[in-house]
Chains A and B, each alone.
Chain A
Amino acid sequence: SQKIEQNSEALNIQEGKTATLTCNYTNYSPAYLQWYRQDPGRGPVFLLLIRENEKEKRKERLKVTFDTTLKQSLFHITASQPADSATYLCALDESYIPTFGRGTSLIVHP
């Protein structure tokens, strides 16, 4: 069966450190993968998209990698800040229909 796995345990890190979140999947062949941020009581907000033929993508303090052999994406936030605290969702897209993981909560302590 198809699965998208994100760590269900919250990730706690200290301000200034790099946060790394993982998204693993099975039985998918996504054309691209997206990362979203969701704050409590709000809708998800798009952050980054990476295509299957791209290895890495960067945007300001964010970096995403995509390994189609390992079936894994890593999402990094460098120089993390308390304002980065939120739930981060990955979404796989096989045919214009994104399917979401359950998300990982990130807590950045001052």
Chain B
Amino acid sequence: DAGVIQSPRHEVTEMGQEVTLRCKLISGHNSLFWYRQTMMRGLELLIYFNNNVPIDDSGMPEDRFSAKMPNASFSTLKIQPSEPRDSAVYFCASSYQGTGGSGGTGELFFGEGSRLTVL
């Protein structure tokens, strides 16, 4: 398996533009996490999906951010309109989590990240 694949790796855009970040999960994984990493705040959870359903989106900064899982293997994170303070590295990570307490290993598999710069 190629691992979690994110695109684009780098994005430079101007304030006010729409940004779409993409993530392909590892085959067989059923949980998807979007994190944002900055020097000031470290790795912050934005949103968590389990079996394509958003479970926790309390970390999504505001209505400008939206995330979707149109199918079990793919997710998008959209920022519209983008602002300079959105500049960060955005990571997605996938894992397998069982049901009824059987659980997976809990470990997350991260992509290489999308570095976003908003001018």
Q: Which of B7-35 contact A (CB under 8 A)?
A: 31, 33, 35
Contacts of B97 in A (CB 8 A): 96
Please encode chain B, from 80 to 110, with 1 for each CB lying within 8 Å of some chain A CB and 0 for all others. 0000000000010100010000010111111
Q: A44, B31: Cβ atoms under 8 Å?
A: no
Q: A46, B43: Cβ atoms under 8 Å?
A: no
Contacts of B33 in A (CB 8 A): 97-98
Interface residues on chain B, size class: 20 to 34
Q: B106, A34: Cβ atoms under 8 Å?
A: yes
Chain A binding surface, main DSSP class = strand
Shortest distance between the CB of B49 and any CB in chain A (Å)? 11
CA of A45 to CA of B109, assembled, Å: 7
Known A-B contacts A96-B97, A97-B56; A46 and B45 likewise in contact (beta carbons under 8 Å): no
Shortest distance between the CB of A66 and any CB in chain B (Å)? 14
Please encode chain B, from 44 to 69, with 1 for each CB lying within 8 Å of some chain A CB and 0 for all others. 01001010000010000000000000
Q: A46, B48: Cβ atoms under 8 Å?
A: no
CA of A98 to CA of B109, assembled, Å: 12
Known A-B contacts A93-B106, A96-B106; A43 and B113 likewise in contact (beta carbons under 8 Å): yes
Contacts of B48 in A (CB 8 A): 96-97
Please encode chain A, from 35 to 78, with 1 for each CB lying within 8 Å of some chain B CB and 0 for all others. 01000011111100100000000000000000000000000000
A residues neighboring B (CB under 8 Å): 32, 34, 36, 41-46, 49, 89, 91, 93, 96-103
B residues neighboring A (CB under 8 Å): 4, 31, 33, 35, 42-43, 45, 48, 50, 56, 91, 93, 97, 103, 105-113
8 other A-B residue contacts (CB within 8 Å) besides A32-B106, A34-B107, A91-B108:
A36-B108, A41-B112, A43-B4, A44-B43, A49-B105, A89-B43, A98-B108, A103-B42
